[in-house]
Structure 1
Amino acid sequence: MFLKNAWYVAAWDHEVTRDLAQITVLERAICVYRTEAGAIVALDDACPHRKLPLSMGRIKGDMVECGYHGLTFDCVGQCVWAPGGRIPSEARVHAYPTHEKYGLVWIWMGNPVLADPEEIFEIENFDNPDWGMNRGAAMELDCNYLLMCDNLLDPTHVAWVHGGSFGQAATKDTPLRVKKTENGVIVHRWMLDVEPAPFYKKVISFKGNCDRLQHYEVRYPSHALIRAVFTPAGTGGPDGPLHPDTFIMDSLNFMTPTTAGKTRYYWFQLRNIRPDDAALSRMMTEDVQHAFEEDRAVLNAVQKGMAEKTSPHIDLPIDAGQLRFRRQLEAMIAEEAMVDAKMQGIS
């Protein structure tokens, strides 16, 4: 169901403090906190004695004391004290590698030996002072994470779900191009000499029609880059020169599966205009949050509909990117499970 040897977003960096807290990732309850030096610790949230969540205990320096019988665990999950004086060899909990980047806390759910921070999703222009940013709180979705991945490989749905913001007439039937990459799938299209969508009319600096790029890219296991490009009509297209007034917005989207039917969704946008305009950032955040609420209503209902369906669902040609992504991710999960089974057999 899940790819374990991958980086997932565990929290915004400000959400992890010196207080013990429980998060859920890939159906695992995890206790997270910061050490006195500010490093992040992530441990399985269950004392091995009677399985009381460690997050119900207390911090002792950089260690965690179970709130039931006082077993104490260090930052790598090893028990360093137990009542009675003898520490059983089984008195340890799994510790998960973590890394902070882009204001996010990333967690590795698989084999710790394979955890390489260099493999975290690379974000172009994140530290570029010429680019502005807007972001909002993480959203809780009552749907499987793959439904959100489907949504982010689907440029067509904006015509109906986001007609008052991202959608426009050309998004209904302009042909899509699908490209499989080494680490994901891209669905994209240029729409030439079209009216700008309502959301973007408020932020672009030029008048009249535009050439618009929809670049929808999802990388394994569940991270997406949605790039919107708006340039004056006649200056876009695959080989277009791009006008100096071209507007670019990169929407970064990170879906963290919490359970089979629930997802925590982290997002923010980068833009190539007015980096210090706080009012623009607020406006964009509010409008994007409204659009994402439209997505949430649809996807929550799709989750219910697919779970309770009484007849088979169908696929359309516009689903090509989604189906390619799912097939490859399924193969990666199966291969990972096979390797794990062999390793367990060896051990």
Structure 2
Amino acid sequence: MFLRNAWYAAAWDTEVKQALHATILLGESIVLYRKADGAVVALEDACPHRKLPLSMGRLHGDVVECGYHGLTFDGSGACVKAACVSRIPQAAKVRSYPVHERYGLVWLWMGDAAQADPARLLDIPEWNDPAWGVNRGDSMTIDCNYLYMTDNLLDPSHVAWVHQTSFGTAACESEPLQTVVNDDGVVVSRWLYDIEVAPFYQQYLKFAGRADRLQYYEVRYPAHAIIKGIHSPAGTGGEGAAAHEQAFVMDSYNFMTPVDENRTRYYWFQLRNFDPTDEDVSHRFAVDVRRAFEEDRVVLAAVHAGMKNRQSANIDLAIDSGPLRFRRGMERLIREEQDAAAASALNTIEVKAHA
């Protein structure tokens, strides 16, 4: 169901302190905390004795004490103290997850620790560029499978109906979409020409009148979305056109982390090419984006419930090409990962049998 050899956003860096922070990723219970030197630790949230969550225990400096019988674990997951026994059992250990901090987020690698390369994290060239303003982001939990969210973020047309008071206008209803399948994900995009500006964008544009608008929706495996929005004065936009000096550019970065098969934690932030130091703009941006994403939350929760309890078959439309191709790509990657894990396990068994 999930691709495990990948980085997933687990929390904002400000959420993880020198205290026990319980969370769930890909159906796995995890406890996070910071050591005295500021490094983040991520451990399986279950004492190996009776599986009491370690998050119900106590943090003593850099080690976690189980709240049931006092077994104590360090940041590597090794048991360093077991007061109830004469010696520490060999099996007294918990899984430790690779951690990396970037873009104000704490990222966890959920698969084979040997493959946890920070270079595989999404690159954002504008991050820390003083010419770009940043809305530092927000998060929410949505009651739906993460693939309904990737469907949504590869569907520019939905804004015409879901976001009529924010991102959408009637021009978003029917213009054909271009779909490109890459090795790392799928891109769906289109230019809309000489259109009325949607309500969300009107307050931020540096020009008056109608606009040419780019809708660029990209989702990379496992579930990282880059939504690029450009508004340029009508007649100045289009594929290959030089950037207009008054063009509005917003790059929205969206990270979906499955909690389990029925819930997804959604993290986001935006970068913009205007008013980089204006805190009022950043605040209004954050409020308006949150309001628009709440519209998505209502729809996606209802879609998940409707699909889970459907009494008749659902249909696909031409606008579903991008989402369906992304799903097929995910299925292939998950299948390859599972096949590799099965082959490795079989090889281990054979080696032990011949030892």
Normalising by the residue count of structure 2, what TM-score does the alignment of the two structures yield? 0.96
Work out whether residues 136 and 289 of structure 1, in 8 Å CA contact, stay in contact via their aligned partners in 2.
no
1:200 is aligned to 201
Q: Partners in 1 of 2:277 and 2:310 — Cα distance?
A: 49
Work out whether residues 154 and 322 of structure 1, in 8 Å CA contact, stay in contact via their aligned partners in 2.
yes
Secondary structure of 1:257's counterpart equals: strand
1:51 is aligned to 51
2:78 is aligned to 78
2:93 is aligned to 92
Q: Partners in 1 of 2:184 and 2:325 — Cα distance?
A: 12
Secondary structure of 2:319's counterpart equals: helix
Secondary structure of 2:138's counterpart equals: coil
1:31 is aligned to 31
Work out whether residues 138 and 266 of structure 1, in 8 Å CA contact, stay in contact via their aligned partners in 2.
yes
Shift of 1:242: 2.2
Deviations 1:12-31 (A, max 9, x none): 00101111121100000001
Secondary structure of 1:137's counterpart equals: strand
2:22 is aligned to 22
Q: Partners in 2 of 1:94 and 1:207 — Cα distance?
A: 57
2:351 is aligned to none
Deviations 1:198-234 (A, max 9, x none): 1111101101111100000000000000000011111
Between the aligned residues of both structures, percent identity stands at 56
1:167 is aligned to 168
2:157 is aligned to 156
2:40 is aligned to 40
Deviations 1:2-56 (A, max 9, x none): 0000000000001011111211000000011000101000000000011111111
Q: Partners in 2 of 1:284 and 1:321 — Cα distance?
A: 28
1:296 aligns with 2:297: yes
Q: Partners in 1 of 2:182 and 2:137 — Cα distance?
A: 29
Q: Is the deviation greater in 37-46 or in 119-128?
A: 119-128
* Letter paired with 1:74: D
Across the two proteins, how many residue pairs are aligned to each other? 347
Q: Partners in 2 of 1:294 and 1:38 — Cα distance?
A: 37
Work out whether residues 65 and 73 of structure 2, in 8 Å CA contact, stay in contact via their aligned partners in 1.
yes
* Letter paired with 1:346: N
1:68 is aligned to 68
Secondary structure of 1:238's counterpart equals: coil
Shift of 1:128: 0.7
2:13 is aligned to 13
1:181 is aligned to 182
After the TM superposition, which segments of 4 or more aligned residues of structure 1 sit over 2 Å from their partners?
none
* Letter paired with 1:256: T
* Letter paired with 1:306: M
Work out whether residues 138 and 290 of structure 2, in 8 Å CA contact, stay in contact via their aligned partners in 1.
no
Residues 258-337 of structure 1 mapped to structure 2, 5 A cutoff? 258-337=259-338
Work out whether residues 8 and 257 of structure 2, in 8 Å CA contact, stay in contact via their aligned partners in 1.
yes
Shift of 1:136: 4.0
Shift of 1:72: 1.0
Q: Partners in 2 of 1:32 and 1:242 — Cα distance?
A: 44
Secondary structure of 1:138's counterpart equals: strand
Gaps of 5+ in 1: none
Shift of 1:60: 2.0
Q: Partners in 1 of 2:242 and 2:40 — Cα distance?
A: 46
* Letter paired with 1:76: S
1:250 aligns with 2:258: no
Residues 229-240 of structure 1 mapped to structure 2, 5 A cutoff? 229-240=230-241
Gaps of 5+ in 2: 349-355
Work out whether residues 137 and 270 of structure 2, in 8 Å CA contact, stay in contact via their aligned partners in 1.
no
Shift of 1:134: 1.3
Work out whether residues 141 and 266 of structure 2, in 8 Å CA contact, stay in contact via their aligned partners in 1.
yes
Normalising by the residue count of structure 1, what TM-score does the alignment of the two structures yield? 0.99
